[in-house]
Structure 1
Amino acid sequence: MSGSYKTIYWGLLLIAFNFYLGNINVLPDFLGFIMISKGLRELGEVSYEEEYFRKSKIISNLMIVITLIQYIIGIYICGRAINFTRIGIVFFTIGNFINVITLVVIYYILKGIYAEVENRNLTVFMEKINSVWSFKLVVSLITFLACAFIINAGDFTLIIMPIVAIIGIIATIRVALVVKEAGKELS
């Protein structure tokens, strides 16, 4: 079971980081979702709380396809630059849709872990899961709000967006670390 959590951990880290060589994303999200789906499949085979992991796995499988399409579109429109042409707006919208669905995947993963931790009465770890989820949710909501202002792309937006992005990466890393810790606590 510990290996399954490690696979999910690495998948979450792949989703958190985007490194580009020119216009090519070296760590595309679909690879992260492949790892998450693999880990969730393994957890579903041994877990008592497989309902949450099953839901997350179904959504992760869907996200493999969606993020692969996003990756191909990203290469087609020259990477990460957002220009507000018709295809640029579609790419921007797909990116926000992916962020919302990723949040749902994270919710079900943490909910499945929480249910298992609750069965073992590990109250300190339960509080940690709640704390990490609350932080991830708030940061995600701030990110979605900030996206509403990116169209104007004023100086304020250009300063705030990198800060919001860094905090978003930190939030996902915290989720990944809780998943990794769950592998140790529950094995």
Structure 2
Amino acid sequence: MSSGYNKIFWGILFTLFNINLFGIKILPTFVALLIIASGIKLLIEESNEENFKKALIFNNIRVVITILLFVLDFTPLNEVINSKNIISQIIININFVLDLITMTLLLKGSSEVFNKDKEISLYCNKRTSFYICIFSALIIIYNLTYIFLNQGIETIIAIGMLIIWLWIAFVFKRLHNESL
């Protein structure tokens, strides 16, 4: 199980830091999501937990969306998708919701897997509740900044998202350490 959690940890970190070299994406988001998917598959193989199976489905939907967005970057539609308009806002929100569902299912599945260890199970449950509350609030505030076109708040929300994703990555790092 530890290698599955380790892959999820690194996949989350790679989604945060898109590496571009002279305008070419060296590590596109879909590659990081594929790393997360491989980690989830390892967790499924070792535990057969139903929540992990559901998380894999939602993660794979994100993979398809990000591959499409990556391909569209090389077309004239790039201008429409990457500009501030309702289409890009919908795509961003779909990705946020899919991320919220995926990570929640992974944490719930981890709670079930570590059910015999009450301390780790409780740790996962608390992190799940906290993640749902904070991430949902950030999504709502992000959408309000779009409505009111406030760049300052948008920057603060981006920093908040970065912090919550780093935090969730380190939650999975702890689960990796606990499953050794």
Q: Secondary structure at the match of 2:37?
A: helix
- The 3 A distance-change label for structure 1 pair 82 and 35 is same
Matched, 1:37 2:37: yes
Identity within the alignment, %:
27
1:108 alignment partner, one of 99, 105, 108: 105
The alignment yields a C-alpha RMSD, in angstroms, of 2.5
C-alpha distance in 2 between matches for 1:142 and 1:32: 26
The residue number in structure 2 matching 1:178 is: 171
User: What is the CA-CA distance between 1:80 and the residue it aligns to?
Assistant: 8.1
Output the amino acid matched with 1:116. V
The residue number in structure 1 matching 2:66 is: 67
Q: TM-score, normalised by structure 2?
A: 0.83
Structure 1 residues 1-187: aligned runs within 5 Å: 1-21=1-21, 23-47=23-47, 50-76=49-75, 77=78, 81-84=82-85, 89-122=86-119, 125-126=123-124, 127-149=126-148, 153=149, 157-187=150-180
C-alpha distance in 2 between matches for 1:172 and 1:134: 14
User: Does the CA-based 8 Å contact 1:73-1:91 persist in structure 2?
Assistant: no
* Structure 1 stretches lacking a partner, 5+ long: none
1:83-118 Cα deviation digits (max 9, x unpaired): 54xxxx433422221221121111111111122234
Moved more, 70-79 or 105-114: 70-79
Output the amino acid matched with 1:31. V
User: Does the CA-based 8 Å contact 2:55-2:102 persist in structure 1?
Assistant: yes
Q: Secondary structure at the match of 1:122?
A: helix
C-alpha distance in 2 between matches for 1:143 and 1:117: 34
Q: Secondary structure at the match of 2:27?
A: coil
Where has structure 1 moved over 6 Å in runs of 4 or more? Answer: none
User: What is the CA-CA distance between 1:31 and the residue it aligns to?
Assistant: 1.1
C-alpha distance in 2 between matches for 1:182 and 1:42: 14
Output the amino acid matched with 1:112. G
User: What is the CA-CA distance between 1:129 and the residue it aligns to?
Assistant: 4.5
C-alpha distance in 2 between matches for 1:148 and 1:27: 31
Q: Secondary structure at the match of 1:119?
A: coil
* Structure 2 stretches lacking a partner, 5+ long: none
